[in-house]
A and B are shown apart, each in its own frame.
Chain A
Amino acid sequence: MHKLLIANRGEIAVRIIRAAHELGLRAVAVYAEADRDAPHTHLADEAYLLGPPEPAQSYLDSARLLDVARRSGADAVHPGYGFLAENAAFAEDCRRAGLTYVGPSAEAIRQMGSKILSKQIAERAGVPMVPSYHTSDAATLAQQGPEAAERLGYPILVKASAGGGGKGMRLVERPADLLPALEAGAREAQQAFGDATLMLEKYIPRPRHIEVQILGDHFGNRVHLFERECSIQRRHQKIIEETPSPAVDVALRQVLTSAALRLAAAVDYTNAGTVEFLVGPDGAFYFLEMNTRLQVEHPITELVTGIDIVHQQLRIARGELLAFTQEQLSQRGHAIECRLYAEDPAHGFLPATGRIRVLREPTGPGRRIDSGIALHQDVTPYYDPILAKLISYGATRQEALLRMQALLRDYTILGVTTNRQFLLDVIASAGFAAGDTDTAFLNRHFVDWQPTATVSDEILALAALGELLQRRGQLTSALTAAAPAAPEAVLTTPWQRYDGWRIGGSV
Chain B
Amino acid sequence: MKFAYRRSATDEQTVEVDIVPLPERRGTYRVTVGEHVFELDERLFHRAAFLKQADDITLQFEGREYRIFDASQRRRATPTHTGDLRAPMAGKIICVLVQPGEHVKTGATLLILEAMKMEQQITAPQDGVVTRVLCREGDQVTAGTELVVLEEDSAFPTRAASPG
Q: Which residues of A contact B (CB under 8 A)?
A: 357-358, 360, 408-410, 412, 414-415, 420-421, 424, 451, 453, 455, 457-475, 480, 483-484, 486-487
Given contacts A414-B60, A471-B112, contact A483 B45 (CB under 8 A): yes
Q: Is the CB of B34 within 8 A of A453?
A: no
CB distance from A332 to the nearest CB of B (A): 29
* CB<8 Å pairs between A and B, sample of 7: A357-B51, A409-B63, A458-B36, A458-B38, A464-B3, A465-B42, A465-B45
List, in ascending order, chain A residues with CB within 8 A of B3's CB: 463-464, 467
Q: Is the CB of B95 within 8 A of A457?
A: no
Q: Is the CB of A484 within 8 A of B43?
A: yes
Alpha-carbon separation in the docked complex, A64 to B65 (Å): 42
Residues in B33-60 with C-beta less than 8 Å from chain A: 33-34, 36, 38, 40, 42-46, 48-53, 57-60
Among listed B24-32, B73-81, B126-134, B140-148, interface-contacting one: B24-32
Q: Is the CB of B44 within 8 A of A462?
A: yes
Alpha-carbon separation in the docked complex, A415 to B34 (Å): 29
CB distance from B7 to the nearest CB of A (A): 4
Interface string of B1-36 (1 = CB under 8 A from A): 101010110000001011100000011010101101
Q: Is the CB of A457 within 8 A of B34?
A: yes
Given contacts A408-B63, A455-B66, A469-B45, contact A414 B7 (CB under 8 A): no
User: Known contacts A460-B17, A462-B48, A465-B19; can you find 10 more A-B pairs with CB under 8 A?
Assistant: A357-B51, A459-B61, A460-B7, A461-B36, A464-B3, A464-B18, A466-B48, A466-B50, A466-B59, A484-B46
Q: Is B109 an interface position by the 8 A CB rule?
A: yes
The residue that A455 contacts in the complex, of B7, B45, B53, with Cβ under 8 A, is: B7
Q: Is the CB of A465 within 8 A of B29?
A: yes
The residue that A464 contacts in the complex, of B8, B19, B48, with Cβ under 8 A, is: B19
Q: Which residues of B contact A (CB under 8 A)?
A: 1, 3, 5, 7-8, 15, 17-19, 26-27, 29, 31, 33-34, 36, 38, 40, 42-46, 48-53, 57-68, 94-95, 97, 109, 112, 119, 137
For the complex of A and B, list the 7 residue pairs with the smallest distance between their C-beta atoms, beginning with the closest: A466-B50, A409-B63, A461-B31, A414-B51, A457-B33, A455-B7, A464-B17
Alpha-carbon separation in the docked complex, A451 to B137 (Å): 39
Alpha-carbon separation in the docked complex, A474 to B21 (Å): 14
Dominant secondary structure of chain B at its interface with chain A:
strand
Alpha-carbon separation in the docked complex, A465 to B137 (Å): 21
CB distance from B42 to the nearest CB of A (A): 5
List, in ascending order, chain B residues with CB within 8 A of A408's CB: 63
List, in ascending order, chain A residues with CB within 8 A of B45's CB: 465-466, 469, 475, 480, 483-484
List, in ascending order, chain A residues with CB within 8 A of B61's CB: 459, 462
Most buried by B among A412, A451, A459, A463: A463
Most buried by B among A458, A460, A469: A460
Alpha-carbon separation in the docked complex, A453 to B7 (Å): 10
Q: Is the CB of B58 within 8 A of A468?
A: no
List, in ascending order, chain A residues with CB within 8 A of B40's CB: 461-462, 465
The residue that B49 contacts in the complex, of A453, A455, A471, A480, with Cβ under 8 A, is: A480
Q: Is the CB of B42 within 8 A of A484?
A: yes
CB distance from B144 to the nearest CB of A (A): 24
The residue that B57 contacts in the complex, of A421, A451, A463, A474, with Cβ under 8 A, is: A463
The residue that B97 contacts in the complex, of A360, A415, A461, A471, with Cβ under 8 A, is: A471
Q: Is the CB of B65 within 8 A of A421?
A: yes
Given contacts A459-B61, A466-B48, contact A471 B68 (CB under 8 A): no
Smallest CB gap from A460: residue in B? B33
List, in ascending order, chain A residues with CB within 8 A of B44's CB: 462, 465
Q: Is the CB of B49 within 8 A of A474?
A: no
Q: Is the CB of A463 within 8 A of B68?
A: yes
Q: Is the CB of B50 within 8 A of A473?
A: no
Q: Is the CB of A461 within 8 A of B57?
A: no
List, in ascending order, chain B residues with CB within 8 A of A461's CB: 17, 19, 31, 33, 36, 38, 40
